[in-house]
Amino acid sequence: MEQSFDKSLLASISDSLKGNIAVLMGGDSAERDVSLQSGQAVLAVFEQAGFDVQAIDPAKVNLVSELQVKNIQHVFIALHGRGGEDGSLQGCLEKMSISYTGSGVLASALAMDKLKTKQLWKSAGLATAEYAVLTSDSDWKAVLQELGETVMVKPASEGSSIGMAKAVGPEQLAQAYKNAVQYDQLVIAERWIDGDEYTVAFVGNETMPVIKMETDNAFYDYEAKYVSNDTRYLCPCGLSDEKEKEFQLLAKTAYQSLGCQGWGRVDLMTNASGEPFLLEANTVPGMTSHSLVPMAAKVKGYSFSTLVLMIFKQSLDVGNGDLSSTNIHVSALDCTGN
């Protein structure tokens, strides 16, 4: 599909380039298929805009060698999940002095870990559902006595709702844990929030309109996100102006508390009383035909091509994370690829 381009934005990007561009996609996480869809959509924008751009799949090549051989100096990260969204890739690119889209090392690592995210938000006084860490020795009845008879079980470091399940009663909780632990050794259960689900996206300093997601599934799961054509996305979201601003402010506070930058998304749900509770932050949101950030940007007046270039321009303007404040030694990170 042909894209229309903002000529001043194209010129600004061209003036800032110091080398070749690559879109990183695929990888070997559980979100590989979604990443390939996101990456291809982003790649098409760069190609149609006339940029010399390379598609690189870290699961197929030695990433460091590929970046060096192709003289890549600027990267659009379309890798979802482990290896692309958890800070390890960001550290590698920092080490190589390559600019990249999205958040830096620490923010990426924090946002990828749902447990650490919730702990940080709770310490900051931000509303998020009560939770418990699950193990194979957990007393399932005791967990439910603490959180309620219905809970949501999540691998701590997976995205796209992979490995997540609603559990009612001890037997379902045990089974949900057994499934989730296949994706991550760290698994949490959250108090079930029986309300509406919303998301707030950010691009640079701009807060996008709130989107409300509606599905006939038990919750907004992988199928509802990427497969079903019956999922309903409401933008305008149906909230009053005052309530929408409240949700945007809560999401922005949560986003900034993690140190996120460039672009990203924060998800939240409301309880029966309409009170919002933070779910998670996403530092490399999807860019597929079903994805939420492009939807919100379109309502704001930005075409998909403009959105992609805006995100990319952020990485050229502001650089990425301040490693001096992360207590992470980048030289110790694994940058070898596969």
Given the residues 282, 291, 305, 320, select the one marked as catalytic.
282
217 labelled catalytic: no
Given the residues 32, 82, 191, 265, select the one marked as catalytic.
265
226 labelled catalytic: yes
Given the residues 38, 99, 160, 305, select the one marked as catalytic.
160
Burial environment of residue 141 by CB neighbours within 10 A (0 to 12, 13 to 18, 19 or more): exposed
> Rounded CA gap, 160 and 182, in Å?
15
Given the residues 159, 280, 305, 337, select the one marked as catalytic.
280
Decide: helix, strand or coil at residue 224. Answer: helix
103 labelled catalytic: no
What is the residue-wise DSSP string for 67-103? HHHTTEEEEEE---STTTSSSHHHHHHHHTT-EESS-
> Rounded CA gap, 99 and 76, in Å?
9
What is the residue-wise DSSP string for 245-274? HHHHHHHHHHHHHTT--SEEEEEEEE-TT-
Given the residues 100, 198, 222, 226, select the one marked as catalytic.
226
Which distant-in-sequence residues (6+ apart) come within 8 Å of 2 by Cβ? 48
> Rounded CA gap, 2 and 132, in Å?
48
Residues 17, 112, 94, 40: is their CA dihedral positive or negative? negative
159 labelled catalytic: no
How much is the CA Rg of the chain, to the nearest whole Å? 20
Given the residues 197, 267, 305, 337, select the one marked as catalytic.
267
Residues 49, 29, 120, 100: is their CA dihedral positive or negative? negative
Q: How, if at all, do strands 72-77 and 197-203 pair?
A: unpaired
160 labelled catalytic: yes
User: Residue 127: what are its φ and ψ, rounded to 5°?
Assistant: -70, 120
99 labelled catalytic: no
**Cross-strand pairs, 24:** 56, 77
Active-site positions read 31, 160, 226, 265, 267, 280, 282, 286
